[in-house]
């Protein structure tokens, strides 16, 4: 009970801090950003109608946790972090490049060493993760962030399933996605928010450390 109260207090403090950071942005700047985002939504035939279904699938997925050190997942994680760092810097091209690297890492991954159970779970995750990466390659910045949100769940599940040699930090922004929140993985404890970039760079908290 005490842990629950403490967690709620931490989230409340974080939410307030992030709101204060948002207020520092001028109304004129906000209006300009809104116009830019609305414009970027009209980008050809890019279809996001499956986003809700994909997120629901990730939420229901059950993965057996492992704490083993595994360097086989490093190329995937490095590519994911490249996407994350690019989004922190509001860099659409860099995010697309990271997603291309991630698709290659998926292709190069040796599945022959997986158990039957691991293989089955990995294939389920892989199908969705590849789709998110493919969208990040071809999408504008705001939609890259939408797909990155889903991709984070996939990469986190891969780490839970197969392990990693890296020390990572699972971080959380309570204000993303209309205050529903968004998670990301980082190689550093310092908060650098990939969902808002320069707009709210420090908004977020560390939820847990991996390794």
The single residue listed with the structure tokens 């991709």 is: 151
Q: What is the pLDDT of residue 157?
A: 97
The strand ranges marked E within the chain are 168-173, 182-186, 205-210
Q: What is the pLDDT of residue 4?
A: 45
Q: What is the pLDDT of residue 120?
A: 95
Looking only at Cα atoms, what is the longest distance across the chain? 56
What does the domain layout of the chain look like in residue ranges? 2-15+64-210
Q: What is the pLDDT of residue 20?
A: 55
Q: What is the pLDDT of residue 68?
A: 86
CA distance 23 to 45: 35
Segment among 9-13, 113-117, 127-131, 196-200 with least mean pLDDT: 9-13
CA angle 146/51/36 to nearest 5° reads: 40
Q: Which of 131, 201, 206, 142 is nearest to 177 (CA)?
A: 142
* Residues constituting the chain: 211
Share of the chain above pLDDT 90, in %: 68
Q: What is the pLDDT of residue 46?
A: 47
Q: What is the pLDDT of residue 61?
A: 73
Segment among 13-27, 29-43, 129-143 with least mean pLDDT: 29-43
Secondary structure (DSSP) of 77-123: HHHHHHHHHHHHTT-HHHHHHHHHHHHHHHHH--GGGS-HHHHHHHH
CA distance 183 to 55: 13
Over range 16-24, report the average pLDDT.
55
3-state secondary structure at position 142: helix
Tens-digit pLDDT profile for residues 133-173: 999 999 999 999 999 999 999 999 999 999 999 999 999 99
Tens-digit pLDDT profile for residues 179-194: 999 999 999 999 999 9
Is the pLDDT higher at 137 or at 48? 137
Instruction: Give 87's pLDDT tier (boundaries 50, 70, 90).
Output: very high
Instruction: Give 65's pLDDT tier (boundaries 50, 70, 90).
Output: confident
Q: What is the pLDDT of residue 7?
A: 45
CA distance 163 to 157: 9
Which structure tokens are listed for 79? 């590519």
Q: Is 140 left (phi over 0), alpha (psi -120 to 50) or beta?
A: beta
Tens-digit pLDDT profile for residues 95-109: 999 999 999 999 999
Instruction: Give 18's pLDDT tier (boundaries 50, 70, 90).
Output: confident
């Amino acid at each position: 009970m005490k842990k629950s109260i403490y967690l709620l207090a931490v989230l409340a403090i974080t939410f307030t801090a992030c709101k204060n950071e948002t207020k520092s942005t001028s109304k004129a700047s906000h209006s300009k950003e809104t116009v830019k985002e609305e414009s970027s939504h009209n980008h050809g035939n890019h279809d996001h109608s499956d986003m809700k279904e994909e997120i629901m699938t990730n939420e229901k997925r059950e993965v057996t946790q492992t704490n083993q050190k595994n360097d086989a997942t490093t190329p995937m994680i490095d590519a994911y972090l490249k996407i994350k760092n690019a989004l922190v810097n509001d860099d659409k091209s860099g995010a697309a490049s990271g997603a291309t690297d991630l698709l290659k890492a998926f292709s190069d991954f040796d599945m022959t060493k997986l158990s039957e159970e691991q293989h089955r779970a990995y294939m389920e995750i892989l199908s969705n993760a590849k789709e998110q990466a493919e969208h990040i390659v071809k999408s504008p910045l705001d939609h890259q962030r939408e797909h990155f949100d889903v991709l984070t769940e996939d990469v986190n599940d891969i780490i839970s399933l197969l392990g990693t040699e890296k020390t990572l930090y699972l971080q959380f922004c309570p204000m993303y996605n209309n205050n529903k929140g968004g998670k990301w993985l980082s190689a550093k404890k310092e908060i650098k928010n990939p969902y808002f970039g320069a707009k709210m760079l420090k908004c977020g908290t560390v939820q847990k450390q991996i390794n």
